[in-house]
Structure 1
Amino acid sequence: MIDRLNGISLFVQVAEAGSFALAAERVGLSRSAVGKSIARLEDRLGTRLFHRTTRSQSLTEAGQAYFERCRRVLAELETAEADIDTGRATPAGRLKVTAPLLVGRHCVAPVLLDLVRQNPTLQLELSFTDRPADLVEDGIDLAVRTGPLPDVAGLAARRVGRMAMAVCAAPGYLDRHGTPARLEDLAAHELLVYGRAGRLAAWRFPEPDGQMRDLALDGRVRFDDLEAIADAAAGGAGITWLPCWQVADRLWDGTLVQLFADHPGFTFDVHALWPQSRHLPSKTRAAIDALAARLPAMMDAGPA
């Protein structure tokens, strides 16, 4: 019976993906293994479920009817499992999470590792990347994202923190090049900027009237890693704009100096996102609650 259910679940995955190769990638199997599973299912049913050519595939009439019924059955099973999960006192199962590289390593990972230590039946799969992921397509339970939310159709979101930014430079750099008195002066300095895929992140500053001022600043040196930017700034290579919590220790010991400290600083919202469903699994709920409880204090870290 279990083998039959696995075959049915894989059939639904293939039908929804529209591709044997994509379905195989999603479930972590080889394309050959997926093809053999579908062939066994077709042999057992005594009918073809897919029209297959070298370039495309589509459901047969029988396959479409079978797909609709199988999808309803699997949905009922998922609902039954969710009902059971809702009654659990502790989170369990595999939790798949994605987060930006720097925030993930320094903020998200410690929180979720503590959660795993407190719950022996919970497993964690944590991926660090600055590239947005498709939660549904990639089978991700939870994503942590900074900045404005993208189109979140089909996703639920909760703010779990706020990340203040600071303009800073090493004292040695300021001794050699002078200290900018106004934001407009930054363009005349050596700047260390973050860029990815050919796009630069603007430096943002709130104005007294509530409007946002974006400075599209470029520099001779670009990085796609914020830790590398912080190291370069500490070494006197130029002025940069980084999260306060990231540079707090360097501001404290004087390795870096905060500029424009009297100017209101910009704050990025940090959100947890997850696929919308009737029942939120206990493992996902526990992770969201843990992040919301601990990230604010971790990200409030700034110059003393």
Structure 2
Amino acid sequence: MAWQRFDGIPEFVLAAQLQSFTAAGLQLGVTSSAVGKGVSRLERRLGVKLLHRTTRRLTLTSEGETYLSSCLRVLEDLDDTEDGLATGQAEPRGQLRIALPGAFGRRHIAPALIALARQYAQLDLTITFGDRTVDMISEGIDLAVRIGDLKDDSELVARSLGEQHLVICASPDYLRRRGPVSTQAALLEHDCIVGWRRGARSTWLLRGPNGVLEEQEIRVRHELGDGEMMVQGVLDGCGLSQLPTWLVYEHLQSGRLVTVLDEFEGGGMPIHVIRPRTRYVQPKVRVVSDALVNLAKARPDVFLCAR
């Protein structure tokens, strides 16, 4: 039966945390032998070894570390649900694990999350930044913001935040020195700044006369492995770069940068907030997800890429 899946979990969690069957037994009010037998039954059911036993202490196996992380997450979710039922409140509480894209997350998402945490005293944030696609289920991520097309994944729920557009921009000083960029072919004559990509062919996506996105060869002068440094390079007049509007919007507004080849502007990439599909959406997940949707509506310059 389904409830039997919980057999041995309390014993395992406490024994792993306290590194002792005896200490776990004292907290549970049973003997150390009963704790050990409970863990052994759990290991037989799972078909893996969770704990290394020695005469001095217990240590987790690699499988045990993974299983303990999942158990703690489930128990935390249960605690949050029971607290909400007991108080009749839906206030977000507990640890929320969020994965954000690097530069975009640091610049436009994280400040809003920090402000939200100040509003909710019992909401604890764990935020990671990076541009790889995380496995939300196996890595225990509650929410993620993702830029790009999403795979058809029945285990995830996505809410749209907007769209990212790419523009080719330069400083007015660079264009005065090097001349205008009036054709796509001119990108083979100008200095172009790109992100560092191992062995990748240097191209930019541009929209052709038929409206279809096509790869355009460019002449690369500088490869910079950081978006902020790419922007700085363009501001300093070192060349052209194709960058997302959320990264250069303020500089376009001030006139420190200008766009070129607007008629060939590349296509957009969707921005979503995603979460694992569950029957019960915890208050902390719902409140933060709603806050990000509201943030996107309030900042069309960032999330809808208006210029």
The question of 1:115 aligning with 2:116 is answered yes
TM-score normalised to the size of structure 2? 0.71
2:291: which partner in 1?
A: 290
SS of aligned partner of 1:149: coil
Cα distance in 2, alignment partners of residues 200 and 287 from structure 1: 39
Contact 1:83 1:279 in 2 (8 A): no
Corresponding residue for residue 235 of structure 1? 236
2:44 paired with 1:43: no
CA 1:47/1:277 → structure 2, altered by over 3 Å: closer, same or farther?
closer
In structure 1, what residue type is equivalent to 2:177?
Answer: R
Q: Is contact 1:164–1:300 with CA below 8 Å preserved after alignment? A: no
Q: Determine if contact 1:162/1:300 at 8 Å carries over to the other structure.
A: no
Q: Classify the secondary structure of the residue corresponding to 1:88.
A: coil
8 Å CA contact 2:187–2:217 kept in 1: the answer is no
2:272 counterpart SS class: strand
Cα RMSD for the two superposed structures = 3.8
Equivalent residue number for residue 92 of structure 2? 91
Cα drift, residue 207 of structure 1: 4.6
Partner residue, 1:259: 260
CA contact (8 A) 1:42 1:49 kept: no
* Corresponding residue for residue 7 of structure 1: 11
User: Following superposition of structure 1 onto structure 2, how do residues 171-190 of structure 1 map, counting pairs within 5 Å?
Assistant: 171-190=172-191
SS of corresponding position for 1:288: helix
Displacement, 1:187?
2.4
For the Cα contact (< 8 Å) 1:170–1:257, is it kept in 2? yes
Q: Give the residue type in structure 2 aligned to 1:142.
A: L
Identity %: 29
Could you say what secondary structure the match of 1:58 adopts? Answer: coil
User: How far off is 1:183 after superposition?
Assistant: 2.1
Q: Check the 8 A contact 1:192/1:219 in 2, yes or no.
A: yes
Gap regions ≥5 residues in structure 1? 12-23, 52-56, 61-70
Counterpart Cα distance in 2 of 1:47 and 1:229: 56
The two structures have a TM-score, normalised by structure 1, of 0.72
Map 1:19-98 to 2 at 5 A: 33=19, 43-45=36-38, 47=40, 50=43, 58=48, 82=81, 85=84, 88-98=89-99
What is the alpha-carbon distance in structure 2 between the residues aligned to residue 120 and residue 265 of structure 1? 43
Could you say if the C-alpha distance between residues 167 and 97 of structure 1 is closer, same or farther in structure 2, counting changes exceeding 3 Å? same
- The CA deviation at 1:75 is 7.3
Question: Deviation string for 1:72-102 (max 9, x for gaps)?
Answer: 9x97996795476586332111111111111
Q: 1:96 to 1:35 in 2, by over 3 A?
A: farther
CA distance in 2, matches of 1:126, 1:200: 33
The equivalent residue for 2:142 is 141
CA–CA distance in structure 1, aligned partners of residues 219 and 89 of structure 2: 52
Give the Cα–Cα distance (whole angstroms) in 2 for the partners of residues 266 and 77 of structure 1: 42
Q: 2:136 is paired with a residue of what secondary structure? A: coil
Residue type of the alignment partner of 1:300? D
Q: Indicate how the Cα distance of structure 1 residues 244 and 236 shifts in structure 2: closer, same or farther if over 3 A, else same.
A: same
- The alpha-carbon deviation at position 125 of structure 1 amounts to 1.2
* Superposition deviation, residue 278 in structure 1: 1.1
AA paired with 1:235?
Answer: D
Match of 1:66 in 2: none
- The answer on whether the counterparts of 1:190 and 1:220 sit within 8 Å (CA) in structure 2 is yes
- Residue number in structure 2 paired with 1:154: 155
Is residue 2:239 matched to residue 1:246?
Answer: no
SS at match of 2:262: coil
Change (3 A) 1:248 1:204: same
C-alpha separation in 1, matches of 2:266 and 2:40: 65
State how far apart, in whole Å, the 1-side matches of 2:131 and 2:237 are: 26
SS in 2 for 1:232: helix
Maintained 8 Å contact 1:162/1:296 = no
User: Counterpart of 1:58 in structure 2: which amino acid?
Assistant: V
Measure how far apart 1:110 and its partner are.
1.8
Which digits, 9 at most, give the CA deviation of each residue in 1:181-227, with x for residues without a partner? 12232122211112345547853334564432233546232222110
Secondary structure of the corresponding residue to residue 300 of structure 1:
helix
Q: Any conservation in 2 of the 1:195–1:222 contact (CA below 8 Å)?
A: yes
Residues 157 and 273 in structure 1, CA contact (< 8 A), matched pair in contact too: yes
Which residue is equivalent to 1:281? Answer: 282
Distance 1:94 1:303 in 2: 34
Looking at structure 2, the residues matched to 101 and 126 of structure 1 have their Cα atoms a distance apart, in angstroms, of: 11
